[in-house]
Amino acid sequence: MSIEIKEEQTDEDKKLSFWATLFTFIKLNIIAGFLFLPAGFKNGGWLFSIIGMLFIMFLNVYSMICICESSDKLSTYSLSKIGFKAMKKFGFYVCEFGIAFTQVDFL
C-alpha cells in the first residue's frame, strides 16, 4: 500500500489566464443580472424599469471610465489605493467597505 503525497500548489499555479478571468467576470456580473431582471420588470413596470436600467448603465460606464483614467494616472490598479491617493485613510476605508459590501450583497 503506497501513500501519494501531493505537491503544494505555488502562486503561479493558482493564477488565472486573461480569458478565464474574463469569463469569470462575465459569469458573475452579467448572468446574475439576467437572473434578477424578470422580477425587476415585474415589480417596477416596463417604463420605469427601462429608464432605470438606462440610467444605471450610463452611471456604471461613467464610473468605469473614471476608475480606468485614475488608475492610469496613478499607475495602480487597486481601487483601495486609488481611494487612498484621493482621500487618504478615509478613502481607503470607504473603498474597502464598498468592496466588502458588494460581496456580502449577493448572500
CA atoms within 13 A on the CB side of 15: 5
Would 66 be classed as within a structural domain? no
**Boundaries of domain holding 51:** 17-58
Would 73 be classed as within a structural domain? no
Over residues 16-38, the mean pLDDT reads 79
Would 45 be classed as within a structural domain? yes
- Residue 29 DSSP class: I
Query: What pLDDT sits at residue 29?
Result: 74
Would 28 be classed as within a structural domain? yes
Instruction: Please state the domain count of the chain.
Output: 1
Query: What pLDDT sits at residue 81?
Result: 92
Would 44 be classed as within a structural domain? yes
Which is higher by pLDDT, 84 or 25?
A: 84
- Report the chain's terminal Cα–Cα distance, integer Å: 45
Would 38 be classed as within a structural domain? yes
pTM recorded for the entire structure: 0.57
Would 4 be classed as within a structural domain? no
Would 54 be classed as within a structural domain? yes
